[in-house]
Every structure is written in structure tokens, then in C-alpha cells.
A and B are shown apart, each in its own frame.
Chain A
């Protein structure tokens, strides 16, 4: 109710670096997404977007940035994907646009942002996962190494973090390259 209750609900400044905005096509998408995420137990906040990312829709969802992968996966499952996800502290920041392939002869290594996946060409077996620092990385590696690209779970199904998201990008590029 007015100015003072809004002030109480603001995220402490120091924690803004951990938060991101989800930007949607329109307001009803925001409302559906809010329902999905709150229903899955996420601590999110619907608010007005900063000027830099105003697209016409008056609302964005503020969410825990590091858990972007899990959140985007749940929204995709529910048919409510955002247009983009950006950090609160600098909404003009884009995800690292870095996909690089290294040929090791019998193996191919694909790097996406800070994650790398290595695949044996002849068998499509994932032989190594490297990079990253979030706790889902060793878990994803355990679930993926030793499996072929077709048998392996997509990291978006079992990962949680931005590192997991980067691994998903590397994995999907691996599928694209190895299916040629």
C-alpha cells in the first residue's frame, strides 16, 4: 500500500548481483510464468522493467540468476519461455556468444562459454566434460561421460545453473555437428 510497503519489498542492493530479469512477449505470459515458478517453489518477484529493457510489456520477473538453467527448463516445459534472461545489475549484458570447436583427430571438443564437452567421433561417446565451477558440473559429468550423445540426458533436464546452461549449449552443438 504505497511507498513504504514497496520499499520493504526491495531486494537488498548487495544481493542484486545474484538476480536476473526474465523478459516476456506480453503481460499475460508474465502472469503465467509467475504462476508456474511460484508453483514450483521459486522465490521470484514481478516488477516493472528498467528503461534499458523495456519492450512494451510493463512487467518482468526478477529471479535467482545462477539458477537460470533450471528455471528456463521449467518454463519451457510449461510453454511459457521468456524472450530473454539478463542480469539485474546490467540488463544490457548478453550471454557469452562463444561456441568454439577443437579437432583432436579421433575426438572433437566443443566449448560454449565456460564449459567444454569432448566427444569421440566414431562412437559419439562423450569422453570428457571440463570447465565451470557450479556444483552441478561434476554431477552432469558423471551422468554424461561414457554415454553416447543419443543416450545421454540433455543437461537442461538435470542441470541447474548457468554453468549447466553453458554445458547444454555445448551438448546441443555436439549433436548438431555429429549428426552431419
Chain B
């Protein structure tokens, strides 16, 4: 099961807060987050890791990154 969060156009810390909410509430074991800045990419990855989730892949997109995380 996986969900996709679109955090593009949102400034830090919104992408981090959305990710943490999704981790807490969604019940899924895989999430993809779309971001459009390097800062958000790093902060979202760090926040996921702090909750015991693994960053399995970061893919470049046309206007940012797709971060794939999986429950550890």
C-alpha cells in the first residue's frame, strides 16, 4: 500500500510536517513525497529517518524530486 504527497510549492517546514502527519495517520507502509527544493528534499528525508522509515529512492523529476520512503 502506498500514498503520494504533493508538497511542491510549499515552503519548509510544510513538507516535513505533511510527511510526519502521513507517517502517523495513514497506516501505509510506503509513501512518495514530491518536493521542489533541495532543502525540502534533505529535511523530509531526515524527518522520515528520525521516525524509523527508510529512504529507498530519491528520483529527479522535471521540477524537483520524488522521495520514496518505506516503513522500517
Contacts and interface: CB of A to CB of B under 8 A. Distances in A.
Partners in one complex: yes
Interface of A: 120, 123, 125-127, 142, 145-148, 151
Q: Interface majority SS on A: helix, strand, loop or mixed?
A: mixed
Contacts of A142: 39
Given A151-B46, A151-B50, A146 B20 contact: no
Interface of B: 12-13, 15-17, 20, 39-40, 43, 46-47, 50
B50 A146 contact: no
Contacts of B50: 148, 151
A174 to B, nearest CB: 14
Interface SS, B side: helix
Residue from A123, A127, A142 having most chain B Cβ neighbours under 10 A:
A123
B46 A125 contact: no
A75 B40 CA distance: 34
A127 B46 contact: no
16 contacts: A120-B13, A123-B20, A125-B16, A125-B17, A126-B13, A145-B12, A145-B13, A146-B12, A146-B15, A146-B40, A146-B47, A147-B43, A148-B47, A148-B50, A151-B46, A151-B50
